[in-house]
Amino acid sequence: MPFQTEPPYTHGQAERTAVLLCNLGTPDEPTASAVRRYLSDFLGDHRVVEIPRLVWWPILHGIILRTRPAKSAEKYASVWTPEGSPLAVWTAKQATLLRGWLGQAGHNVLVRHAMRYGNPSIASQLDALKAEGATRILILPLYPQYSATTTASVLDAVYSWAARTRNVPELRFVNRYHDHPGYIDALALSIETHWKHHGQPDKLVMSFHGVPERTLHLGDPYHCESLKTGRLLAERLGLRKDHYQITFQSRFGKAKWLEPYTQPTIEALGKAGTRRVDVVCPGFTSDCLETLEEINMEVREAFLHAGGQEFHYIPCLNDSNAWITALSQVAQQHLAGWPTTVPDAAALADAHARALAGGAPAGACPMSKQLLF
């Protein structure tokens, strides 16, 4: 497999440190064709669907990608904004704000965002960071809880890019921050702010994205980390055990997933006479289809139809100050030991002069001809 062409290099240029925020992804537009491309990439990932390709491929390409895109496109259209996909909009804002937060803390680092599926891709953003001089890159997934279906898939994409790269930067990965105090505080502040304006519910439901139950038994820590996030959040809010419930949403296919399921649980609450339910989705750091359409539309309707009186959806962390502060704390923790200050101009000039004296070309040169001084 041929390596990619390396970007031009000039002796004495600054070596930069970078952070790459990675989210799941979204279609480029709310159309059947765009959703089909997205779903083909997403559902074609062996981390997401652990069915042998010989069995899964005919189902995916022969049935799902022929029937599901049009229906999903309608759902995406219902939450699309003038700026684009909510997930894409919030993720881009988080990257911009994180760059500012880190800068205020004295860290002169590059920050970009990427999507595991869709655009901008992880590979394209890693290429862009290298072109900007990044020689050290922190990969920071926007998944607080680790799962092979999400976090590990991001790592796969990075490793795949590295396998095609001749001069691989130093790489670090953040696997989890489900119990980080700043993250828990940001969630709590979001909920407390909502309750300050709207009062408290009869029940708070914390809805996490679901995964097949078998992954738990095979060693995936996602279930345990989700429960710990929920417990820490409840403790931070001072809730009794009967005042909140942890559930799992977005089940796909016929296999048993982590239980209890969100919609049936909330329907049961409505039927049992629970007047008001508030739902928060702690595992989603940006509002997206699963929160805005599935929870705030479908689950809302199910609760009211079952006899509930009030349904409140508490938005994701998105661009809240407390969340960006927590994200910057996570980033700084994992950046420790790497140089993140503004490069010294005199030292760079001296390195350039020494390289020239040693026979290096005056301008940009291929990476293969670099001289170290």
CATH number at residue 59: 3.40.50.1400
Band of residue 11 on the pLDDT scale cut at 50, 70, 90: confident
Task: Look at residue 2 and tell me if it is in a domain.
Answer: no
Question: Mean pLDDT score of the chain, rounded to an integer?
Answer: 94
Q: What is the pLDDT of residue 368?
A: 41
In this structure, the answer to whether residues 169 and 217 fall within a common structural domain is no
Q: Give the residue from 7, 17, 12 showing the smallest Cα distance to 134.
A: 17
- CA end-to-end distance (rounded Å), the chain: 32
Lowest pLDDT segment from 5-19, 22-36, 308-322: 5-19
In this structure, the answer to whether residues 63 and 136 fall within a common structural domain is yes
Question: 266: which strand partners?
Answer: none
Stretch 72-78: mean pLDDT: 98
In this structure, the answer to whether residues 28 and 163 fall within a common structural domain is yes
Residues 6 or more apart from 141 whose CB is under 8 A from it?
Answer: 21, 22, 23, 150, 151, 154, 174
The structure's pTM equals: 0.93
Q: What is the pLDDT of residue 373?
A: 36
Task: Look at residue 342 and tell me if it is in a domain.
Answer: no
In this structure, the answer to whether residues 153 and 280 fall within a common structural domain is no
Q: What is the pLDDT of residue 67?
A: 96
Separation of alpha carbons 116 and 25, rounded Å: 6
Q: What is the pLDDT of residue 369?
A: 41
Task: Look at residue 200 and tell me if it is in a domain.
Answer: yes
Task: Look at residue 347 and tell me if it is in a domain.
Answer: no
Residue-wise pLDDT tens digits, 187-240: 999 999 999 999 999 999 999 999 999 999 999 999 999 999 999 999 999 999
In this structure, the answer to whether residues 26 and 168 fall within a common structural domain is yes
Residues 6 or more apart from 343 whose CB is under 8 A from it?
Answer: 14, 15
Q: What is the SS3 assignment for the chain? A: CCCCCCCCECCCCCCEEEEEEEEEECCCCCCHHHHHHHHHHHHCCCCCCCCCHHHHHHHHHHHHHHHHHHHHHHHHHHHCECCECHHHHHHHHHHHHHHHHHHHCCCCCEEEEEEEECCCEHHHHHHHHHHCCEEEEEEEECCCCCCCCCHHHHHHHHHHHHHCCCCCCEEEECCCCCCCHHHHHHHHHHHHHHHHHHCCCCEEEEEEECCEHHHHHCCCCHHHHHHHHHHHHHHHHCCCHHHEEEEEECCCCCCCECCCEHHHHHHHHHHCCCCEEEEECCCCCCCCHHHHHHHHHHHHHHHHHCCCCEEEEECCCCCCHHHHHHHHHHHHHHHCCCCCCCCCHHHHHHHHHHHHHCCCCCCCECHHHCCCC
Question: 139: which strand partners?
Answer: 20, 173
Stretch 271-280: mean pLDDT: 98
Domain hosting residue 300, numbered range: 181-314
Task: Look at residue 145 and tell me if it is in a domain.
Answer: yes
In this structure, the answer to whether residues 22 and 139 fall within a common structural domain is yes
Residues 6 or more apart from 338 whose CB is under 8 A from it?
Answer: 17, 136, 138, 170
Task: Look at residue 3 and tell me if it is in a domain.
Answer: no
Task: Look at residue 365 and tell me if it is in a domain.
Answer: no
Residue-wise pLDDT tens digits, 137-156: 999 999 999 999 999 999 99
In this structure, the answer to whether residues 234 and 284 fall within a common structural domain is yes
Question: 21: which strand partners?
Answer: 113, 140
Stretch 94-106: mean pLDDT: 97
Q: What is the pLDDT of residue 2?
A: 87
Give the number of domains in the chain: 2
Q: What is the pLDDT of residue 347?
A: 60
In this structure, the answer to whether residues 65 and 157 fall within a common structural domain is yes
In this structure, the answer to whether residues 141 and 152 fall within a common structural domain is yes
In this structure, the answer to whether residues 28 and 90 fall within a common structural domain is yes
In this structure, the answer to whether residues 158 and 197 fall within a common structural domain is no
Task: Look at residue 354 and tell me if it is in a domain.
Answer: no
Residue-wise pLDDT tens digits, 120-138: 999 999 999 999 999 999 9
In this structure, the answer to whether residues 169 and 23 fall within a common structural domain is yes
